[in-house]
A and B are shown apart, each in its own frame.
Chain A
């Protein structure tokens, strides 16, 4: 029996027991950093309340420190960052720290993975919790040792008297298995906004020994050796396999189901509630075959969508559902005195989350409580969504996050969790549901398509007098980015529940100090409301790539009109030293050749080479990118051999995980820049697999020079999404330099390049 089978068995044992399933990963040497699946003796007792210090961390009898992290880490090392922050404040070795995350019974709702707020918000909360824990422990040590707290020092979890090291007591001895039994201040917020306060003063940056160092991630060994359980590996006694049935044309309803069409498949059974329809079978392969074989009569409906070539006209012509924006200075007056006006319009397609593995979840719905194992990035919200779908009280639902396929926003992991729960309720037994590829790409929430119109007023000398930037598109959240309400999920929608319809868009983000500028936006209604494969929600850096493709392309268009250098033109409109430093750094590292826009071009046969820059901010994080491109002017083929990145996110907790996170988001961003576009026709989405929704290949992986720089001693502002924000713009600007023709429709693929030429 190999290690993995042992693990499956021990896991099953746990599942049968009453103890919570906890996946804690040691932060020790990487080879020991294997997943341990165990009951949770170190778990907080009773109801979790944010004001109990015990809700945040525990010290075991062996001195091991466990953090209870109410977000999850999807592989960028945010859990490790929490560990480093707490190890720093507590003065304990990293090898004694482990993190429990995403289990609703063991962690407070800190919002799940969301908005690059792991280090920014949860890190701040854990810094305070760690500092408070140290303060409490040192005060108790002072009482026990009979000295003033000021005379104590802490080394590797042992408190001792300065100058008299024989007088000492360990954290474990102080806690003595009883927990902290101490309070901490809380701002009455759950989710991302949750913050903690206490009399303890966290360390100052100068004292840091662990924060800022390249510690190794806790989860890598388990992934490389295949010893970590994944969401899809969870097996519960009596569990059956489920598959969903999606309508051939979105918006149709089930008229009748011919159950005899699957009678020949052993154990196969139809489960249905309204238009929610799926199949189950004891064997997974039989569930798949039943889903393929089941004959369903669907109602006739009008084609739900417009044809794809009509998408951008549809957006331009659709009545607005909401609008927003703001002015600075006197925009209209500036345009009235302009000697020249530059205008442009840009278009950006729908994009799919297209997770590496389609959604999978296991649900066990019983009369005395519900348990779901889920890969969603927001398990606390998903538990509420499950309760809504099932019609049970939220406190009876226990969601356990287990690492799954990467989630970069609202992918299909939440929807499949609801589907599994509804199926389990209907079947009266535990059900594991996994989507097929066509559902993972074809039916996941999409990043919205949009159009952007920009105008710039120039005076006779080419000075910029005013900018007017307008966006119009589908809301960034037709479907809420969490799964907290049943109507925000496919299962709930199909059962007739209503979700929260929010109509919101964004403006460009950066520190340009334009004296006169207008930012405005309008949203339009979903083409098909409800359970639509084009419903929109968050995909990594929601709306960032769309808006900054347009706004940063437009900066180059103005520079071109003003015969200015794109780097110098940006610098001229920035005054914050950190933005200026990032742009200068990226230009220097990339070997930027200064000169007017449109002159960084070289040619070798059909190949045209160019270099382009783009810059943006994201919640205070500054990113400047230079892309080097090669375009075949005959075929439109594009290659991006190199991307140079200057990134300033304030305090860096772990330079190695930051570097890898930036690399990943740059490559994922490149995929969105040069490939990704959801295909559809009037009858539905036709991007349903990796052939019809191509993404970046290793053949296209660029050289990346990510100059992350030295830690800047200011608060951390987040790094999970920022690097992809200006990427499409940088690539488009480089293509302009290469070809001399402006591409205004994303993605920057051969079809759109040839169209621009």
Chain B
């Protein structure tokens, strides 16, 4: 079985995996980093989102071979309770998640977006987050939180 070296949240790991195995399973099962969630396996919901070289990608549909040598960041690497990322801080302040299963996708996608776009309009935020799914219907709270984070990062 091929070996891959991947960097996740600043640490280097070597794993053995089939080349076509999605990155999601390497993170969750091989490295014990369960924050990217399995939602669909089809790039349709975003629950599995991680950053790959700063870009938000869907780890359920990204073969582990493609991630080799690149810098992966998960929700854990984004921020901690002591040093929260502004998006996490805003999601906490707005008490966004209900079940919370999807929240990884929204936080990681919003964080990557706000790195590239300062002072976005609400319409630009919605465009950036389009396609992510939330079954609890927390979309209005998500908008308040991302707006708050964007304002704090301006």
Contact = CB atoms under 8 A, between A and B. Distances in A.
A356 B134 contact: yes
Given A3-B76, A223-B97, A690-B44, A406 B132 contact: no
Contacts of B98: 74-76, 406, 660-661, 664
A207 interface: no
Which of A34, A229, A406, A699 is packed against the most chain B CB atoms within 10 Å?
Answer: A406
A697 to B, nearest CB: 6
B5 interface: no
A232 B39 CA distance: 11
A667 B139 contact: yes
Interface string A663-703: 11111111100000000000000000111000111110111
B127 to A, nearest CB: 8
B47 interface: yes
Interface of B: 9, 17-18, 21-22, 25, 28-29, 32-35, 37-42, 44-45, 47, 74-77, 79-82, 84, 88, 91-92, 95-104, 107, 126-127, 129-143
A403 interface: yes
Interface in A225-256: 225-230, 232-233, 235
B137 A405 contact: no
Nearest to B35: A226
B34 A696 contact: no
A74 B137 CA distance: 13
A76 B99 CA distance: 8
Contact of A701 (B29, B99, B143): B143
Contacts of B37: 230, 232, 357
B97 A356 contact: no
B130 A697 contact: yes
B135 A8 contact: no
Contact of B133 (A3, A74, A225, A356): A356
A664 B100 CA distance: 12
Contacts of A32: 81
Contacts of A702: 140
Contacts of B29: 283-285
A663 B137 contact: yes
Interface stretch (A213-221, A295-303, A567-575): A213-221
B9 A224 contact: no
Interface string A372-407: 000000000000000000000000000000011111
Q: Which residue, A216, A224, A699, A703, has most C-beta atoms of chain B within 10 A?
A: A224
Given A220-B100, A434-B38, 4 more contacts: A220-B95, A356-B47, A690-B45, A698-B139
Nearest to B91: A224
A217 B95 contact: yes
Contacts of A168: none
A695 B138 CA distance: 13
B27 to A, nearest CB: 11
B99 A404 contact: yes
A355 to B, nearest CB: 6
Nearest to A407: B99
Contact of B129 (A5, A8, A223, A698): A698
A656 B102 CA distance: 21
A328 B136 CA distance: 38
A671 B107 CA distance: 22
B140 A3 contact: no
Contact of A225 (B47, B88, B134): B88
A367 interface: no
B135 A405 contact: yes
A74 B100 CA distance: 9
Interface residues of A, number: 71
Contact of B75 (A225, A695, A697): A225
Contact of B135 (A226, A229, A356): A356
B126 to A, nearest CB: 5
Contacts of A25: none
A652 to B, nearest CB: 16
Chain A CB within 10 A, most for which of B21, B79, B102, B135: B135
Given A2-B76, A699-B126, A356 B140 contact: no
Given A225-B81, A232-B38, A357-B38, A664 B138 contact: yes
B34 A3 contact: no
- The 10 A-B residue pairs with the shortest CB-CB distance, nearest first, are A667-B137, A406-B99, A75-B98, A223-B100, A701-B139, A226-B35, A668-B137, A226-B75, A690-B44, A437-B40
A354 B135 contact: yes
Contact of B9 (A2, A31, A358): A2
B47 A3 contact: no
Contact of A75 (B74, B79, B99, B143): B99
A3 B143 CA distance: 29
Contacts of B84: 224-225
Nearest to A690: B44
Nearest to B135: A356
A710 interface: no
B39 A437 contact: yes
A369 to B, nearest CB: 26
Contacts of B38: 232, 357-358, 360, 434
Nearest to A354: B135
A226 B74 contact: yes
A661 B140 CA distance: 11
A343 interface: no
A75 B101 CA distance: 10
Contact of A696 (B25, B42, B129, B139): B139
A210 B108 CA distance: 35
Nearest to B131: A697
Q: Which of B17, B47, B74, B76 has the most CB of A within 10 A?
A: B76
A406 B139 CA distance: 15
B19 to A, nearest CB: 11
A704 interface: yes
